[in-house]
Structure 1
Amino acid sequence: MIRIQPICALSLAAVLAGGAGSVAAQTLDPNIERLQEFKTTGTDLEIETVTQSEERAANIRRILEEINLPPGFEIDLYAIVPDARHMAVGNNVGVVYVGTRKTRVYAVTDRDKDRVADEVKVFAPSVEMQVPNGVCFSRDGFLYVAEHNRVLVFPAAEFFYESPDVAIGVVADQLVPEEEESFNHGARTCDIGPDNKLYITLGQPYNVPPKEKLELYDELGIGGIIRMNRDGSEREVYARGVRNSVGQDFNPANGELWFTDNQVDGMGDNIPPGEINRATGPGQHFGFPWYGGGDVRTNEYKDSEPPADVVFPEVETVAHAADLGMTFYTGRQFPEKYRGGIFNAQHGSWNRTEPIGARVMFTSVNEDGSAGDHEVFADGWLDEETGEYLGRPVDVVQFLDGSILVSDDLTGAVYRIAYTGVEE
């Protein structure tokens, strides 16, 4: 039996108190040791920034002229952010932390509060990161970064981000065994649940995994969602049977976890469907790899008995549209129709003869907690005549003022969608 125990470099309290844990030396990055002792690393104080080129901004805004929105809504460029993936909004200042599938997290600041960012700079440049795709904030101001195979925590991120050196902790030094690391389906996402635990999606590396991998993956939560205490202790598998989730959020009305899931490729243009799932508690199985999406059986497991009590998706989305980041809308800016519902980004298809996706979807949620209508909210990033993607939305988050932000890793940008009530 193989077990992975999360490695806690230091407790969250120790981070703030200036204490360093005994595991710090196990990290490959010597700067983390120094930062845990509140020592400087010698990193250049002039942090690298991303030029907000007027020419490039104008070109992106020309693309946004093609975006279709419901009446009364408008979209604008919020910031130019290279490789923009998942986002987390700071609780107070409203700094937007943007992850990437490369080596950087960016801190995006609107200093004059005109709802267009003034500054985009590298966050924590003294720390080496690998695929820091997943970023999430706790209500008490801790920023978590879920890398490909590690989870970092940055206490008081909105305070320390102005410096290259930041307060830091290592929550988990290994999410999967090194021999299971893969470039495929390795972008993690994270969220803090109503139970104050950290939830992390762990996509499995195959289109459909071989049977000899199932026992190991089942044990470790690869192809599932794991949760742990915020200091990394008491890791457990929360949900199984998930092919590759790259988006999750909790329903504020009842605390249930919802997540998107990207389904099996190579089965045809119109099957299997993508998924938005609803976990009503721990220990549920969502069907993969016996089901490739919805109730469509995979060829590889069609003669094998699925687990009992499989939970089928709350919403079946269009095949291969690649549903990624999602958020429950809790703001007051948007009309009543959207309050309590889900916005999610469709990245767009690659495994389809006619492309689809590259849009933001909206799903209403009924009083009983089930999904209601599922519809297009914003589209136009796909040129349907040529099949060219003009943008590829990745994530949707709610900003402090009740608008929503949408990241796009093709254009390298973050957009802001606001409700003005003024119809064009």
Structure 2
Amino acid sequence: MGMKTDLDLKGNNFSNGASAFFIASLVAEVPNTYLLQKVPPAKWLSINVMLWGVAAAAAAGAKNYTTLLVARIFLGIFEAPVAPSLMIISGQYYTKSEQAPRFTFWFLGLGVAQIIGGLISFGFQHVHHAFAGWRIMFLVMGLITVAVGLATLLFLPDTPMQAKWLSDDQKVTLLQHVRVNQTGIRNGKFDPKQLLEAALDPQVWLWALMLALQAVSSGVVVVYSSTLIAGFGFGGPISALLNTPSGIVSIFFTLLVGIGVRKASNRWAWVFICSIPGIIGGGLMSFLPKSNRAGILIGIYLVNSIVAPTPVIYHWIAANCAGYTKRAFTSAVVAGFFCVGNIIGPQTFQARDAPEYRPAKIAVLVTQAVAGILAVVLFGYYVWENKRRDRAQSTQEGQAVVTDEKAWGGLTDKQNKDFRYVY
């Protein structure tokens, strides 16, 4: 769209700008862990969405690499709370089996954005004005984002008990419905012991590593798919249009996973299954000759299947991580590792590797293979832990009962011996 020329971006400036966004987001996750505990989640989400829109609109005024970098840093800071806040809010309304399709529903925004973004980019590249098309695009999308943030502030409640569209009887019914989760709703008390428990919990780091590996690939395809397509010799507008099928693939696999988990559970299997087209896509991108445009394009599109496991991991956190402080910390850690993956992804695109960028393509192949293996490891851990708890419970008399303390007392999944992990 002319940004590189207008801002005189050279060498790895564009890659560094992409990484700066996620470095800032990673740093912001540290205070976000505490603020998610103290600030009502819907309010915190809406404020950051509005500020994110302001930063996006301000990016339209970038004059050079430095000012673009500053804009990207602020964008990263304000996006940091979005995924953790959505995880906490979404987990309040649904049972564990119901959460997966709901999480995937809001995550469909990524695929929709790829499609709409490609069309918007195509349109604005035909705008010939003193104020460049890419600047107009940033300004318009930033203002729309501010409006979305304002709507979130006005209409999204912090907890089900504050939902104006629910009667008192419906609120009681909802709380009884989600009681079986044994994860509670909200607790404003910060508990350092839960922080330590999360830091020593194997599942937390398996989630984090899986998401980081998937983010390396998503960082490649989301940021650079148009660049890869342009490497075939297509102009900017056509490259933007050819990138829109990536969004369709993302939406298809995200819906498939959401429905599949709801119908057949086996979250680990869906994460593993989605890594397969990602591996195939990475292989096609890496090893097909450049003359095989169709095959490489198919590879680029297939890699977008790897975004589908992300909401499954987010759902795992909501379903398997009990204790408000622990869940807030875990959400921030996993979101932080997502940033790490997205920092690494763009850095695999080095100017010296243009126009084929083979190391970046191989990175997609390898990270997807390892992420699939980790999903199987996590499955094995959950089976082992549940059986261990079953054996311990079988030595006690009576049937386990979901008491008020277990449902609402803020116990962690480790403290509550009747808690069972879903996988």
Tell me whether the two structures share a fold, i.e. TM-score over 0.5.
no
Task: Give TM-score scaled by structure 2 length.
Answer: 0.25
Task: Give TM-score scaled by structure 1 length.
Answer: 0.25
Larger radius of gyration: 2
Between 1 and 2, higher relative CO (CA 8 Å, sep ≥ 6) is seen in 2
> Would you tell me which structure has more strand in proportion to its own residues?
1
